[in-house]
Structure formats: structure tokens, C-alpha cells
Structure 1
């Protein structure tokens, strides 16, 4: 009986402490799960139309030259293709900007700042908006404590006797 009281006390207070953090992690995680869908609706520069004469993507070298012509002196770090009817994404060295290019025509569609609202949610989800070293520990320990609470909650819930009547009442 003493074990069950101590378990209930720990379950309550640890649940309140870690529950707040896990709640924030779940909200920010939900936003991040639908990141691509939200961006697809809110960012028209992510969509590219195929031209009649272009069936395939242009090679990265052509996109690179197009960006070099538009932004002289900027060095392209990477080129990402995201599939049909989507713009290619080029990251610029030592810049917070991303360049979106139509992969069929090599036209620069947009140049967008890399820091957007989703970085706010990522910082909250990974580090609780704390410095990285501290926030990573807070999130890790809160998640571990929440896992411990699942086990202690199961111990609190587990009945002493499994009669058919009692099991029916517990499970309903």
C-alpha cells in the first residue's frame, strides 16, 4: 500500500512537470508534421508549371548558371529537386536565403529568407526555445520522465484481481 501511495505521488507531480513540456512538444510536432502541406498552400513559389516542350528537369548545372546570372558573386551550395510541378531549391553559401528555380525553364521564381515560422516551431520542438545544450537536455529528460509515467500509470491502474466483472468495469 505504501508503494502505491509513493507511486501515485510521483506520478502526479512528475506528470505535471513533464506534461507541460510534452504538451508543447506535441503541439509543435503537429505543426511540423504538416509543414509541407502548410507551405504548399501558403507559398506559391513552390509550384512550377511544366512547359509544353520540356518533359524533363534541366540539369543542376543549368540551374546553377541561371542563379549565377541573377545573383552574381553568390556561391550555390546545393540543388534540391522536389518532384514534378515543384520548383527546385538552391541554397546560397553564407546566406539565410533560399532561391527557388523552375526546373523546366531555369527561371528564378523567388528568393526567400530561410528563417520562417517553422524554425520557431523547430526550436520549440527540439530545444523548448532554450539554448541548444540546455534545451536538448530538458526535452530529453521530460520525454524520459513521461515514459516512466506511462509505466507508473499502468501500475496504478492495474487491478489486484482480474475477475470478469472487475475487468469489464476497468476496461470500460
Structure 2
């Protein structure tokens, strides 16, 4: 009996912590989880709304312009502006993407170009982009000033992690035989029991994903957390100043550099799988070119493979294959993908979407449980008072 009493006391402590933390941060967590749910499939929704921009028709001859010709079109369309990269998709129905970055800009603007006709289809923003930016700002800093909103969301996320941990402790029943009750929803019961089961069972099934979301999301709220996270992983995230390119021993003066398509063909010899290419456009006097490739498909991992190729000889000078990196480096470079859900392509995004829906429901079902308990306590208290009130007049009559 002592062990049972001890467990009940421990469980009550965790239950009280879970309750009051949930009350304190419930509304904020509801907003953060709801906006995260909506934001999960932002890209797919935007591409569906403006399909004519993000998908092109393949002509009968199926002949594409060369990558160099696409660059020439972009340079003519945006004279005097720096083209930082060219993205070549694996899907033949997708347009090429050219990133144009003005001097002083941290991030460029992406423009879509039809690889068959050379038509500039516009930038990647859509009629729904502003809506999703509102969702993003609500998710990250509640539409407040970032110096105020970020720490509020950050501390709410810390509470979210603690709620997940305390919820897991509360879920574990005293008897192993009773575990089955915590894994199912009794749809034949009354609505109060169904609400309790929804909170209990769905919270258990999603707890691992919720922990991953919370622990990865904190890095955008607190610098100290981000530093500590990468220190624990043993990953160096310091931004090093770019080193000047060493002059090759062999001079390439007077030689013609390989075309971009020829360079991509060399890259495909090393990275022989279906994937999307992104070419970083080098300076005119650079002898090498950096290319990265990401796999495509329903279960496609988020990691990219990077290679550097000599522009004149086609020789591979550097190679960094994601799957060959140490585990800690793979995790460190996948933090954003782990938080947003695309770590294993569309498959993991679907799982994250469902998990986010559950996370959005937990503050609601939890509040209903709390209100029902308050009503139950009030009813008991009222019943006791009523009993005392009935006894008093009978005592007077006897007297």
C-alpha cells in the first residue's frame, strides 16, 4: 500500500504542475500550434492556388533551353542585378528558379522561368503569401515586436515541453493492465469521458513528435539555447569568413569553361539519383562551381549532397555526401526540417500535420477537463452545504 500511496502523491504533484502550466500558457500554445498546423503545407497550398505559375506545359518536342540560355534571359530581364543561384528541378513540368539578389540584401528574390519558352513567370510570391506571413509572425512572435514576442513564445514553448513530459508521467497508470484504457478512446461513453480520452490517448500517441517540435523550436527564441543545442550536438555553427579562392597551378586563361548543363552532367555522374539541383553562380574569374542536390519523392530526406566541380576540367574538387556525415552533423543540419516536418519529405509532413492538429486540440480538451472538475467540486460542495442546511431546522424542532 505504501508504494501505491507514494505513486498517487507523485502523480498528484505532476498533475498539479501540468494543470497550472497549461492554464498559464494554454491560449498562447493554442495560437502557436494552430498557426504551425496551417503553415505545414504552405508551399503545397500556394502552388495549388497559382498552379499556372509553378507548373508549365511540356511542348511536343519536349526540348528545353540550356541552363546558360535561361541565365542569359534572367540577366536581360534584370540588368545590373546579381544572379546568385539557378535551381533546376527533377520534375520536367516545373519551371527553373533564378535567385536575384541586390547589393546589400541578405536574401534574394526568386523568379520562375519557363525552361521551354524562356518566359519569366514572376516571382514565387502568391496571393496567399501575405496570409502565410501573418501565420508565420503569429507562430514566431505573436505579431508583437520581436523583442517582446519571441521570449513570450519561447517561454510558452518551454512550458509546452514540460507539459509533454508531465503529461507522459500522468498517463502511466499504476497497474500495467490499465495501460490499454489509456491507449483507446471509448466512443460509446458520455461526452466528458470522450473528451478525457481524446486528451489522454492523443497526447500519448503524439508525445514524441511534440517533444521534437518543442526542443527544436526553442532555438529561434533564445540565442543561449541555440548555442547550447549545437554545443551538445558537437556541431560548429560559427560563420567563418569566406576564404579567397586559391589560384590553380594550371592557368585556364584562354580556355572555355564548361557549360552549366555539361557541369550538371558531371555532377550527375557522382550524384546518380533523381533530385533537384541548385547551382551557386560563381564569379566570372572563379575556376570552380558549387552544386547541391536534394532527393525528391514521398519519403525523400531533407539533407542535401554538395559538390564542387572545376569549371574547366569537370573534375570533382570537393564532395560532401549527407548520408556519409557523422550522426551529430546530420541532426545539426536537420534542425529546421525536424521542426517543420519535412525531414522525410511529404510522409513526415503528413505526420507532423496530424500531430499539430492534436497539439492544437490539447489546450481545448484540457481546459474542458479542468472546467468539468471545477463543476464537480462545486456540486459536491453544494451537496454538503445542502445537507447541513436540512439538519439545522430539524434540530430546532426537537428543541
TM-score range, shorter chain: 0.7 to 0.9
The 10-residue stretch of structure 1 (39-48 or 8-17) with the greater mean CA deviation from structure 2: 8-17
| CA distance in structure 2 between the aligned counterparts of 1:101 and 1:40, rounded to whole angstroms | 15
Cα drift, residue 38 of structure 1: 0.8
- Counterpart of 1:29 in structure 2 is 36
Partner of 2:46: 39
Task: Give the deviation of 1:36 after TM superposition.
Answer: 2.2
**Match for residue 260 of structure 2?**
none
TM-score, normalization by structure 1: 0.74
Deviations 1:16-66 (A, max 9, x none): 23332332222222222211221122112111122223345631x322211
Question: What residue in structure 1 maps to residue 78 of structure 2?
Answer: 71
Residue 146 of structure 1 pairs with residue 157 of structure 2? no
1:48 paired with 2:62, answer no
Number of positions where the alignment pairs a residue of Structure 1 with one of Structure 2? 169
Q: Is it true that 1:121 corresponds to 2:121 in the alignment?
A: no
Distance 1:163-1:38 versus aligned 2 partners, 3 A rule: closer
Are the structure 2 counterparts of residues 104 and 7 from structure 1 closer, same or farther at C-alpha, using a change threshold of 3 Å? same
* 39-48 vs 119-128, greater mean Cα deviation: 119-128
Structure 2 Cα separation of the partners of residues 85 and 107 of structure 1: 14
The secondary structure found in structure 1 opposite 2:58 is coil
Higher gyration radius (CA): 2
Q: RMSD of the alignment, in Å? A: 3.1
Which one has more relative contact order, counting CA pairs under 8 Å at least 6 apart? 1
Alpha-carbon distance between aligned partners in 1 of 2:182 and 2:48, rounded to the nearest angstrom: 45
Tell me, yes or no, if structure 1 residue 104 matches structure 2 residue 116. yes
Deviations, residues 76-111 of structure 1 (Å, cap 9, x unaligned): 222223332112222221377432110223221224
**1:127/1:9 CA distance change after superposition, 3 Å:** same
| C-alpha separation in 1, matches of 2:119 and 2:183 | 61
Unaligned runs of 5+ in 1: none
Contact 1:58 1:105 in 2 (8 A): no
| Inter-CA distance 72–8: structure 2 relative to 1 (3 Å threshold) | same
Distance 1:57 1:142 in 2: 51
Indicate which of 90, 101, 108 corresponds to 1:93. 101
**In 2, Cα distance between the equivalents of 1:23 and 1:149?**
13
Residue 152 (structure 1) shift: 2.1
> What's the TM-score, normalizing by structure 2?
0.36
Residues 58, 104 of structure 1: 8 Å contact kept: no
**Cα contact 1:15–1:149 (8 A) shared by 2:** yes
